[in-house]
Amino acid sequence: MTGPLDQLKIIELGHVIAGPLSAALLSDFGADVIKIESPNRADMMRELGPKAEDGVGVWWKTLGRNKQTLSLNWKSDEGHEVLRKLVEDADVLVENFRPGVLERGGVGPDTLHEWNPDLIILRVSGYGQEGPMRDVPAFGRAAEAMSGLAHLTGFTDGPPMHPGFPAADSTTGLMGALGIMLALFAREKGTARGQVVDLAVFESLLRLMDYPVPALTGADHSARRNGLRQPMDYAPGGMFRTIDGQWLTVSAGSAETAHRLLRAVGGDILADDPRFATLDVMSQHMPVVFDAINDFVTQRTLAEVEEEFARHDAVASRVLSIEEITENEQIRHRGDIVSVEGEQTKVIGPIPHLSATPGELRWLGRPPGADSRSILRDLGFTEERIAALCKAGHVSLESEEGTP
């Protein structure tokens, strides 16, 4: 089955998470991605974190999924020749170096657009291509701090905290894929030809968090971290532990669902209390609501809580471990955890689910330079020219020959 992005050609100069994830998300739906790595310095994600039984980093297996790998010194004159041939036939180039790296390498946007005026260029950086912090080095955690995410995560009297996954880099990967698709749509409509998508890592979280800024500027309400409860605490909910040691999260997002929740934990007396008549009024008495839920949950087993909540059509979701995620019937039914033939490592499959043109996991991350020879051949390079490029160190075929 042909993916919706079949024949979309992407050149990836990115490294680590944010840029490569943008390309990986699009590769799931048929985009042809060529990942370029230096002959002497492969992407650090190949080595970061735990290794599978075959010695390959599992993080690389998923970030490198569906991608061809080309080992190329793109900064040399000979590398420019190869890169130019690739760019001339590409739709998108992804990079997430510090601002100025492309330009110093002789292939800034002006040059790339000379080679291909229709090229979409995704540029991911810590703080953006312009501004007073342009040259400040940054990683995902710095972005989580700048966006306000860390400020709102943790207990009221405790330190700010980072979430349990690289939230800034991951959301930037998603936002980068969106930016690429928006630029491609504008190109398709004739609104613009090739354009630059300038994305700062902190901006992705800033946009997705969103509500603290209008809450402050429009309602003079400053959100604060609130432990097991939401920072804004405008509706009942929180994290609670049952008497048999199971953690679950309770939530209600409307007056109707809130009253069903209150009826489940406190009966009609609590649900009909005037202090909880509307969400606006309820928000002024949220500590009372939280304590009522906490008393109910902590004095019952998980089965008892689930039974009572189900009877009132209220929402309580048990917190799953990673082991439980891999065995969950709903996740399994959706086909959300997949692998390929011959691989023990499983990864999260293509999301979202499209009815007519679903995504596909074709292969997991390949060795450095595994496709160098075939890519160069497709560009018209002879075996003699490829050998010369390898001898001069501009291209590497080592991993293709079976050498790590």
Mind telling me the catalytic residues? 169
Give me the amino acid identity at 352: P
Q: How far apart are CA 168 and CA 155, in angstroms?
A: 21
Residue 65: enclosing H or E segment and its boundaries? none
Name the residue among 130, 184, 156 with its Cα closest to residue 7: 184
Beta carbons within 8 Å of 225's beta carbon, 6+ residues apart: 151, 152, 153, 154, 155, 156, 158, 160, 161, 231
**Pairing, β 247-251 against β 315-318:** antiparallel
| Nearest by Cα to 127 from 113, 110, 142 | 142
Q: Give me the amino acid identity at 119.
A: L
Q: Which residue has the tokens 């669902």?
A: 257
Q: For residue 353, what are the contacts with CB-CB under 8 A and spacing of at least 6?
A: 334, 335
Least Cα distance to 12 among 88, 86, 93 occurs for: 93
Contacts of 164 (CB under 8 A, 6+ apart): none
The helix or strand, by DSSP H or E, that contains position 364, with its residue range, turns out to be: none
Element (H, E) at 15: none
Q: How far apart are CA 374 and CA 381, in angstroms?
A: 10
CB-based contacts of 373: which residues, under 8 Å, 6+ apart? 386, 397, 400
Tell me which amino acid residue 339 is.
S
SS (H, E, C) 210-229: CCHHHHHHHHCCCCCCCCCC
Which H or E element spans position 175? helix 167-189
Q: Which ranges of 12-164 would DSSP assign to H, the alpha helix?
A: 18-27, 58-63, 77-88, 101-104, 109-115, 140-147
